[in-house]
Amino acid sequence: MTGRLFIFGLGYSGLEIAKLAKAAGWQVGGTVTTGDKATALRATGIDAEVFDGSAALASDSLAVATHILCSIAPGTAGDPALRTSADRLGHARWLGYLSTTGVYGDRNGGWVDEEDTPRPTQARSIERLATECAWRALGQKNGMPVDIFRLPGIYGPGRSAVDQVKAGTARRIDKPGQVFSRIHIEDIAGAVVAAMSKPRGAVYNVVDDLPASSADLIAFACELLGKPVPPLLPWHEIEPTMSAMARSFYSENRRVRNDRLKRDLGVALKYPTYREGLRAIAAQS
């Protein structure tokens, strides 16, 4: 099944989804933040237009969209797509929203799945959960399925441990027991396109199979590139030098399951662990 996809937010993840959908036969439009970006994307066949969240989007591409996805992060004022354009979305057959596994909160390293009740503590995760609810409410009002995609740390070409090692910015932080779930950007796109073809109105954890410490990723990237592995930096020494945002990531520890993604959508991850993903990035660089 194909149709007309409109994506609010053709950023790192949104653009990857747009490219995969277009390759699969979908007509694709969406929003960007500057005119230059819009012009560049139109040249590739993606009907992009500028949207800054301050006013309703009057868009022919949006008006005829059968499927609408939002990848824009909300702020304290809520989701800009819903805030400005909710009354222009009721014609679609499907809605999707890119959320975060941060809505589960800290689980002390334990496993969570979609049946676990969200317990967000970070302000940005609380905003994400509120936005999930707002998209579901819109879908319920208009009788359309809404799929929520909860994403962990996102990596891919240009944004990976391989790139950090090459840039000389990689650090190995030793916080015993701390792990992170993550996902390669191509697997995000694969999951969303699969869901558009099987609308279920479900929540999906779009994560890979192997939660791991960031120190393990840096060590593996160094091995791939033939670089010396940096020494471990004790958490109690490095924490005072970290930004508030970085500390917030390390304040939560959980492992996230992806069984529903595989079982209900039949998704086979292209990069089931960071090893396959980093190996591919290193080979491309």
Domains of the chain, residue spans:
4-154+184-209+255-270
* CATH number corresponding to 4-154+184-209+255-270: 3.40.50.720
The per-residue pLDDT for 166 is: 97
pTM of the entire predicted model: 0.97
Which portions of the chain are predicted below pLDDT 70?
A: none
The per-residue pLDDT for 57 is: 87
Per residue in 153-191, pLDDT (tens digit) is 999 999 999 999 999 999 999 999 999 999 999 999 999
Which residues does 8 contact at the CB level (< 8 Å), separation at least 6? 14, 30, 31, 51, 68, 69, 70, 71, 72, 80, 81
The per-residue pLDDT for 56 is: 87
Residue 4: its H or E element? strand 4-8
Phi, psi of 47 (to 5 degrees): -80, 80
Position of tokens 């950023």? 11
Segments in 198-273 forming alpha helices (H) = 214-225, 235-238, 244-250, 259-265
How far, in Å, CA of 17 to CA of 40, rounded?
Answer: 17
